[in-house]
Amino acid sequence: MQRAFLSFFLTMLVGGLTEARTTTLAPAAVKDTIVVRLPNKATLTLTVRDAAQLREMKNYQLDSLTSRLAGYIAQAEKAAKDAPTDQVTLQFYPDKDQPGKNLPEQIRITTRKKTANTNRVDVMLNKTFGVVVTTDADGTKSYNTKQNTKTDEQRQAHRDSTRLKNIERDRSTVNFVFDLGLNALVNQKVRNTMPPDQAGTVDLRTEGSRYVNFGLDWVTRLGGKRSPISIVVGPELSFNNYMLSGNNRWVNTNGRTDVIRETDGRQFQKTKLASSSINVPLMLQLRLRDSHYKPTLMLSAGGFVGYRIKSWTKLKYTNEGSTNKEKEDGSYNMENFLYGLQGTIGYRGLEFFGKYNMNSLFKTGASPDTQVLSFGIRIAGN
């Protein structure tokens, strides 16, 4: 009989049931329960009224019943697969189908859909780190760390909210700016009467006429919390190089500063006039943002005033096979007070600047009559 019970239960397992239970219905109250625990951790429960009912089990021909259960199992398996719920219960009545063969009055089979993970526990240590403990159907546990349980939409909404709070909170900000560009001489007035050794116009070597500027800009919002308009003001330190093309050099004689062609055999590699100045810009700025409050288009325009701190010339030349360098400080008749227009344009992280000196580079009547245009890229800033 014990062999018949084992055969019966193993057939139910082969059918893929999650849970299968056979119960003999009796009109009397339940008094005795027999539980058989098999080696694969499955459990067979038999409920009887007394020991006499248990002895009658031999009349049910359980070996043949196991063959009949194969059909019941197939029906239950199909019903569980097609059902919209996770659990399905089917009832069969073998004795009514074939009376007189001592078959069970009723067989009830309950099946559940098989899932990869039957148990899952999330252990959160804080808002951004956690451990997921998953227990499979066979009792195997797996452990996985996770950085955030929020959806992409929730994370994006959190970032948007943080940016908006920062924008509304910070009415004023301080930005470090660093500009790198080139200088060009514009609006030159050519003198018709020039000595033979002097150039009529000042021609600069483009790659050597560099402009460098860095400083701190205070940006203060005008209007409401989400206003795109700001005012920009701040001190900046600028360095201008004016490197001559050809074999020419800057000279300062008889109270004048001119460009002279070299005729004594020296070959110039570098002949530049340089200056440093402190400037204070004052601009209005328009900064637009996208739907996530990230900055997009930025425009600023205004003016500046400044003061020249220092100026000097540098020469690098070869003479009779040797390389020589010379440096000489002096005013070179350059204007002390500076003023002009400047502006920037940018999109997201890319920004360009332009700066036009409305004053002449040199004092009137003492040097070439020209103005300076500086332009380039702002590689550090807002």
- pLDDT by residue (tens digit) across 74-130? 887 787 777 777 777 878 787 787 787 777 777 888 877 665 545 555 545 444 455
Provide the 3-class DSSP secondary structure of residue 248.
Answer: strand
User: Of 113, 180, 193, 105, nearest to 378 (Cα)?
Assistant: 180
Q: Which two tokens stand for residue 37?
A: 């625990």
Report pLDDT for 132: 58
Report the mean per-residue pLDDT for the chain. 80
Report pLDDT for 127: 47
Sign of the C-alpha dihedral, residues 153, 158, 160, 161? positive
> Mean pLDDT throughout 323-339?
94
Assess contact for 63 and 7: CB atoms under 8 A. Answer: yes
Report pLDDT for 24: 41
**pLDDT greater than 80 at residue 246:** yes
**pLDDT greater than 80 at residue 248:** yes
Report pLDDT for 49: 73
With cut-offs at 50, 70 and 90, classify the pLDDT of residue 329: very high
Percent of the chain with pLDDT over 70: 75
Report pLDDT for 266: 85
Assess contact for 183 and 211: CB atoms under 8 A. Answer: yes
- C-alpha dihedral over 241, 247, 250, 255, to 10 degrees? -160
CA 318 – CA 285 distance, rounded (Å): 49
Q: Is 163 exposed, middle or buried (0-12, 13-18, 19+ CB in 10 A)?
A: middle
CA 230 – CA 220 distance, rounded (Å): 5
pLDDT digits (tens, 9 = 90+) for 275-315: 999 999 999 999 999 999 999 999 999 999 999 999 999 99
CA 126 – CA 123 distance, rounded (Å): 9
User: Of 113, 112, 16, nearest to 73 (Cα)?
Assistant: 16
User: Of 157, 316, 314, nearest to 241 (Cα)?
Assistant: 314
Residue predicted with more confidence, 102 or 325: 325
Report pLDDT for 370: 93
**pLDDT greater than 80 at residue 353:** yes
**pLDDT greater than 90 at residue 273:** yes
Cα distances from 97 to residues 12, 45, 145, 204, in angstroms, run: 21, 25, 56, 110
Report pLDDT for 284: 97
| Order of strands across the sheet that contains 141-146 | 117-124, 130-136, 141-146
pLDDT digits (tens, 9 = 90+) for 124-168: 544 445 555 566 666 666 656 555 557 888 888 889 899 889 888
With cut-offs at 50, 70 and 90, classify the pLDDT of residue 14: very low
Report pLDDT for 31: 59
Q: How many CA atoms lie within 13 A of 235 on its CB side?
A: 4
pLDDT digits (tens, 9 = 90+) for 181-223: 999 999 988 665 455 556 567 899 989 999 999 999 999 999 9
- C-alpha dihedral over 221, 224, 227, 232, to 10 degrees? -10
Query: CB under 8 Å to 112, separation ≥6 — which residues?
Result: 18, 19, 80, 86, 87, 88
Q: Which two tokens stand for residue 100?
A: 């007189």
Q: What is the DSSP string of 206-230?
A: GGG-EEEEEEEEEEEE-SSTT--EE
pLDDT digits (tens, 9 = 90+) for 258-271: 888 887 778 888 99
CA 56 – CA 277 distance, rounded (Å): 112
Report pLDDT for 110: 80
Report pLDDT for 108: 80
Report pLDDT for 75: 81
Percent of the chain with pLDDT over 90: 37
Q: Crossing angle, helix 2-14 and helix 62-82, to 10 degrees?
A: 20
**Dihedrals phi, psi of 76, to nearest 5 degrees:** -65, -40
Report pLDDT for 308: 97
